[in-house]
Amino acid sequence: MTYHILIADPLSEEGIYPLRQADGLEITIATDLSKEDLLERIKGFDALLVRSQTQVTREVIEAASNLKIIGRAGVGVDNIDLDAATEHGIIVVNAPDGNTNSAAEHTIAMLTALARKIPQAFNSLKNGEWDRKSFIGVELKNKTLGVIGLGRIGAEVAARAKGQRMNVIAYDPFLTEEKAQKMGIGFGTVGDVLKAADFITIHTPLLKETRHLINEEAFAKMKDGVQIINCARGGIIDEDALYGAIVSGKVAGAALDVFEMEPFVDHPLLTLPEVIATPHLGASTVEAQESVAVDVSQDVVNFFKGEAVRNPVNLPSVSKEVMAKIAPFFDLAEKLGIFLSRMTDEAIEEVNIKYAGELANYDVRALTRNTVKGILKRNLGNHVNDVNAKFLAERFDIKVNEHKTTTGKGFLHLITAEIVTAKFTHRVAGTLLNGLGARIVKVDDYVVDVVPEGHLLFIKHKDQPGAIGRVGTLLAQKDINIATMQVGRSTVGGDAIMMLTIDNRVEQTEIEDLTELEDIYEVKAIDL
């Protein structure tokens, strides 16, 4: 099998080495595609790798009939329609760590250049002027740097600013006073930061909540003569409001690496002498580009090898240690789901999955997704996968609940999956037995011991002499060999079940014939 990879933005050649080394991957590099060309070209590709330039819109995702993974060589995924990717079962991976240092260094370079008006002075010099009066700067020492967004990059910037002997005050929804104290920085609300800072640097992602976070109202709260740096994303600062604040003298200077619309050739803000700018170069170093390309390429390789990806954006990430504990249960979890989907033809309203024993100590959301995937597969086939299973369940109004208990009822680990319909509840439990592999150990209230593999028949019948014989005879007449059989009953002469493993898949007509036998209530064929 060959998977086709489209690299649509320039990536470091050294960085894509993992892709070039892997078997079964064919790489096409086509950068600077127009929107129309991308819509046309994307059709045959299994993977798309981008930086920040290519806009992976819903339209692109819907035009991509084979696309399975989108790799973003960098942090911000605001150029990718994540909802559309999730709905279409496409995993999005990024490279969150590879450019932190470069982006932080660029921010500090911008801060210093802004304070000392270096670009303006250089331009003047190049224009043949020796002007030592117009470019009087300010020192950073003892000034206050306000950091909005203290994640990976914000924290690096804060640490470096302290090296410049600046006072740092930060706001981040995840920042506590204790953590701020440990970092040796001040802590406050956005309002506190805006009020206290001589320089303000933004390091949040561009989200609905952060769009125009720095607007007219925010500028009004700032000190007169404040200077602003944005090396995060265009759109976090309202550019019209910034223009007004500079012209009015409220803001003394701005250093911008990012803009609301990129790319552009001219921009009103660049007509102002107080503004210095770079064309989105925060991550443009040899080291960062190699690092993000390696990270994202490695995840694409892992994905096509069927291994866990390290930096999923639209799936919760699972640590290596947890993955090692839960990965052996993936197949069983999915099979419990497939089994349950065959137990009813009614609309499923609720799915309850209970993890008992040691499994209860781990993050098992990936197992839950597998069970939900198994349940939905009956009607959705390959349209459902790990990425969209929960989303599709929600779309069909199926509530998914996860429960945990450390008591394993005699099993080291036990997964019990349950579906609830308007009329019935069905339950199936499975485990992994040391040295023996997966087993289904309970179906509804009946204890069984069945290998979840191949073709199974689940038959509900009356506990009467002859019922089992009649099933065996009819299957023999149809030339269907029984490999294993388990029986269980609730009470003598009451309801009972048979679980058969058979060598061939049964047809619907054969199920109907079995159902018509005396004392047989219900027959379900389950292919695992």
Ligand X SMILES: NC(=O)C1=CN([C@@H]2O[C@H](COP(=O)(O)OP(=O)(O)OC[C@H]3O[C@@H](n4cnc5c(N)ncnc54)[C@H](O)[C@@H]3O)[C@@H](O)[C@H]2O)C=CC1
Give the active site residues: 233, 262, 280
Contact 147, 157 (CB under 8 A): yes
Least Å from the CB of residue 77 to ligand AKG: 8
C-beta of 262 vs 495, nearer to ligand AKG: 262
Among 11, 25, 75, 145, binds ligand AKG (CB under 6 A): 75
Binding to ligand X by residue 145, rule CB under 6 A? no
Q: How many residues bind ligand X (CB under 6 A)?
A: 33
Q: Which of ligand AKG, ligand X, none does residue 174 bind (CB under 5 to 8 Å by kind)?
A: ligand X
Contact 75, 65 (CB under 8 A): no
Residue nearest to ligand AKG (CB): 74
| Antiparallel, parallel or unpaired: β 446-450 and 455-462 | unpaired
Binding to ligand AKG by residue 12, rule CB under 6 A? no
- Strand locations in 234-344 (E): 251-256, 275-277
Residue nearest to ligand X (CB): 151
* Interatomic CA distance for residues 167 and 188, integer angstroms: 13
Task: Report residue 118 CA to chain centroid gap.
Answer: 41
Q: Which of ligand X, ligand AKG, none does residue 51 bind (CB under 5 to 8 Å by kind)?
A: ligand AKG
526: alpha, beta or left, given left = phi > 0 and alpha = psi -120 to 50?
Answer: beta
C-beta of 198 vs 295, nearer to ligand AKG: 295
Distances (CA, A) of 319 to 21, 294, 299, 364, 502: 25, 19, 14, 11, 40
Contact 211, 235 (CB under 8 A): yes
Least Å from the CB of residue 456 to ligand AKG: 49
Of the candidate spans 35-43, 279-287, 295-303, 453-461, the one that interacts with ligand AKG by CB under 6 A turns out to be: 279-287
Phi then psi dihedrals of residue 376, to 5 deg: -80, -20
* Interatomic CA distance for residues 145 and 250, integer angstroms: 17
Q: Pattern 98-127, binding to ligand AKG, x per CB under 6 A?
A: -x----------------------------
Binding to ligand X by residue 186, rule CB under 6 A? no
Least Å from the CB of residue 200 to ligand X: 12
Binding to ligand AKG by residue 74, rule CB under 6 A? yes
Of the candidate spans 55-63, 225-233, 342-350, 417-425, the one that interacts with ligand X by CB under 6 A turns out to be: 225-233
Could you tell me which of 92, 72, 22 has the C-alpha nearest to residue 302? 22
Of the candidate spans 4-12, 99-107, 465-473, 512-520, the one that interacts with ligand X by CB under 6 A turns out to be: 99-107
Binding to ligand X by residue 75, rule CB under 6 A? yes
Among 114, 145, 283, 351, binds ligand X (CB under 6 A): 283
Is the four-CA dihedral 98, 102, 105, 107 of positive or negative sign? negative
Binding to ligand X by residue 103, rule CB under 6 A? yes
Is the four-CA dihedral 468, 470, 475, 477 of positive or negative sign? positive
Phi then psi dihedrals of residue 379, to 5 deg: -100, -20
Q: Is 390 helix (H, G, I), strand (E, B) or coil?
A: helix
Binding to ligand X by residue 23, rule CB under 6 A? no
Residues that bind ligand AKG (CB under 6 A): 51-52, 74-76, 99, 280, 282-284
Residues that bind ligand X (CB under 6 A): 74-76, 96, 99-100, 103, 148-154, 171-174, 203-206, 209-210, 213, 231-233, 257-258, 280, 282-283
